[in-house]
């Protein structure tokens, strides 16, 4: 049962913890199911090795989401934010995004930036709802079935 003070989407026992290399098998079982051009195991390993802020969201000790944030000086760049397909559309992406924004604030970041595919309307809507604004279009940023797809660069002053 949900506690009244819990953010929408989270259930009792859900929690965040830092991502570990041992989490990569579970993450690699999620990533290719939700993205046509998923991150590779090497991308995740490189991010962990670079000491990016990498977190997982667990429910009953099972990874159901993850996010990675690169902090440079007073800027944070959201590299990846993902919720397993069976858990999408339940408010968990919002909770995970808020967790990452809070981490950026804790590190004295002044802004959070991210790129999102122009075709990913649900993610764009989430980011806009959380206060992000479109800053620019990055042409041909992502691989796509028919070549390349543009990305929307979004930013949030925190």
Chain segment 94-144, per-residue pLDDT in tens: 999 999 999 999 999 999 999 999 999 999 999 999 999 999 999 999 999
Whether 5 is in a domain gets the answer no
Q: Which residues pair with 116 in a beta bridge?
A: 152
Give the domain CATH number at 30. Answer: 3.40.630.30
For residue 34, give its domain range: 15-157
Q: What angle do CA 128, 29, 102 make, to 5 degrees?
A: 35
Whether 6 is in a domain gets the answer no
CB atoms within 10 A of CB 60: 8
Chain segment 6-64, per-residue pLDDT in tens: 566 788 889 999 999 999 999 999 999 999 999 999 999 999 999 999 999 999 999 99
15 by Cβ neighbours in 10 Å (0-12 / 13-18 / 19+) ranks as: exposed
126: tokens are 């989430």
pTM of the model: 0.92
Whether 8 is in a domain gets the answer no
Q: Confirm if 113 and 88 have CB atoms less than 8 A apart.
A: no
- Residues taking part in catalysis: 115, 127
Residue (of 114, 120, 126) closest to 154 by Cα position:
114
Residue (of 155, 130, 151, 156) closest to 140 by Cα position:
151
Whether 7 is in a domain gets the answer no
Chain segment 65-101, per-residue pLDDT in tens: 999 999 999 999 999 999 999 999 999 999 999 999 9
Task: State how many domains the chain has.
Answer: 1
Whether 111 is in a domain gets the answer yes
């Amino acid at each position: 049962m949900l506690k009244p003070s819990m953010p929408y989407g989270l259930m009792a026992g859900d929690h965040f913890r830092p991502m570990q290399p041992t989490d990569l098998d579970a993450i690699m079982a999620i990533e290719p199911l939700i993205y046509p051009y998923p991150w590779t195991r090497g991308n995740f390993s490189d991010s962990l090795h670079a000491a990016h802020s990498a977190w997982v969201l667990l429910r009953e000790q099972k990874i159901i989401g993850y996010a990675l944030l690169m902090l440079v000086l007073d800027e944070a760049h959201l590299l990846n934010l993902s919720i397993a397909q069976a858990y999408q559309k339940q408010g968990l992406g919002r909770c995970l995004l808020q967790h990452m924004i809070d981490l950026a604030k804790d590190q004295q970041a002044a802004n959070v930036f991210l790129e999102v595919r122009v075709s990913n309307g649900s993610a764009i809507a989430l980011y806009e709802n959380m206060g992000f604004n479109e800053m620019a279009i990055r042409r041909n940023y992502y691989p796509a079935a028919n070549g390349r797809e543009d990305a929307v660069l979004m930013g949030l002053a925190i």
